[in-house]
Amino acid sequence: MLLDTTIFIDFLKGKKKIKEFLEKEKNLFTSVVVLMEILAGLKGKKQAKSFEKFLAESLITVYHINKQISSLALDLFKDYFYSSNLGIADSIIAATAIVYKEKLVTANIKHFKPVKNLKTRKM
């Protein structure tokens, strides 16, 4: 399962349901784009270091952007930006999930609902 930004936001807010999910589930992944979004929202280096420590200690694998992901992300962006307001980061995150055949775990299904071939799980 590929974790969206919203999952980490809820984890950082201390939501018990998310903490338990992250502790229980195996084979968890995320996108480097998600990590950049999280780091951009943190308040300074101390929080960033703490989050980076959490990631290092977790078993969450980070997928990086490759040619296949970037090509699909561009197609998704062109297909869904005007009709559904799918943003750049969400296009890359959705493409990553599709390329790696992972279910996208998110608290915000509406961002991704229109994307064909993308399986999602709401948390």
Question: Residue 59's pLDDT is what?
Answer: 86
66-123 pLDDT, tens digit each: 999 999 999 999 999 999 999 999 999 999 999 999 999 999 999 899 999 999 999 9
Q: What's the mean per-residue pLDDT of the chain? A: 95
Torsion of CA 121, 18, 13, 27, to 10 degrees: -80
Q: Is the dihedral of CA 104, 19, 9, 108 positive or negative?
A: positive
Instruction: Lay out the sheet containing 120-122: strands in order across.
Output: 61-63, 29-31, 2-3, 104-106, 120-122
Token digits of residue 97? 């999930």
Q: Indicate the pTM of the whole model.
A: 0.94
Question: Residue 111's pLDDT is what?
Answer: 87
State CA 8 to chain mean position distance.
8
50-71 pLDDT, tens digit each: 999 998 888 899 999 999 999 9
CB 64 within 8 A of CB 89: no
Domains and their CATH numbers in the chain: 2-122 (3.40.50.1010)
